[in-house]
Amino acid sequence: MTSALEGLKILDLTRLLPGAFCTQLLADYGADVLKIEQPGQGDYNRQFAPIHKQESGSFLLLNRNKRSLTLDLKAPEGKEVFLRLAREADVVVEGFRPGVMERLGLHYDVLAAANPRLVYCAISGYGQDGPRAQAAGHDLNYMALTGALQLFGTPETGPIVPGLSIADVGGGSLMAAVGILTALSARGASGRGQFVDIAMTDGLVSWLCYHAADHLFGGVEPRGGERPFIGQAPCYNVYRCADGRHLSLGIIEAHFWHRFCDLIARPDFKPMQWPSGEEALLQKAVLTSVFGAEARDTWVERLAQADIPASPVNAMAEAFDDPQLRHRDMLQYLDHPVEGRIPQLGFPIKFSASPGSIRLPPPRLGEHNESVLAGLGYSADEVARLRERAVI
């Protein structure tokens, strides 16, 4: 089968999660992604715990189907190599603070002059302009700034650290992937590439469409534990069962709620699906007692038989052994020349005619230096000189 993005050439200058996940998504569906890494160190994520044998586990889960070229972009020879690559590329993705590529002399205007069809995607925390453009930040900071962080927690705890990097992935990786593919589509009509400015804060704000409605239209400040879908409503909540494990109850539609009330023999709750204040606390206490009377899996089976939206709160081991995830091939394996047989997360998008595929293991640092440079016309002696000068 033909891969959806076969023939697309991407130069990936990013480090850490947002860019890596974006380019792996594109690589999984056929794009040729070349990681440009700092000689001697490479992507910072290579050093993150847990280390499998030599590489970080998270690096191994974020960088399959990519090649690696080490390149010192501060050296004149390194800039020349990158310019040669950019002339043949479709996309450049970088995740530096605004201004870094300008200081290197490799910013969009320079690259577009060499390759007018180039799509250049810059992923940053706050965007390329504005009063915070140069500010340092990470996922938690973007969550806090946009009002998203207050959605997690309770009145007792206040905001808590979310367990997923929502701004990095939702505001960064996914927005960058959409931006790149949109710009490529536009190039098909115009013949020219363009600059794609991805701010993780902007992307995260767009994810607030449900909860921002409370503020923008209802005049209510949404906080964790104080609004129906973020911990207040008993019908949409998490409960501890008799065996100490937890269950998620996700009832929205009234017919599911009525069925649930019948199941637990509390028909009096039917008119009170969305209580607030003291009524919500009392109803939550009742459901806590009900679920606490039996083991989690007993409740899972009972609720499934009644066709009520509920699921176990799985540990990772349980999740990867879940029949649905197994059926959807969401845990796969590949062979790595150093790390051995390693697990990989499955493809999130299923295509009928051009499915994702694992073609390459995550690259060793600089693994493809010789082949990439030879493809650009560098001789073996020239490659050796670049290595001697620590350009690669």
Residues annotated as part of the active site:
168
Question: Do 303 and 259 meet the contact criterion of CB atoms below 8 Å apart?
Answer: no
Token output for 3: 């891969």
Token output for 210: 């449900």
Output the CA angle 258-261-263, nearest 5 degrees. Answer: 110
DSSP assignment letter at 280: H
Maximum alpha-carbon separation in the chain: 84
Q: How far apart are CA 368 and CA 370, in angstroms?
A: 6
Sign of the C-alpha dihedral computed for residues 146, 152, 153 and 155 taken in this order: positive
CA neighbor of 133 nearest in space, from 93, 168, 100 = 100
End-to-end CA distance of the chain: 36
Q: For the chain, percent helix, then strand, then coil, each to nearest 5?
A: 40, 15, 45
Q: Are strands 236-240 and 195-199 parallel, antiparallel or unpaired?
A: unpaired
DSSP assignment letter at 54: S
* H runs (alpha helix) in the chain: 17-28, 57-62, 76-88, 100-104, 108-114, 139-145, 166, 174-190, 200-206, 212-216, 254-263, 277-291, 296-305, 316-320, 323-327, 369-375, 380-388
Token output for 258: 């009525």
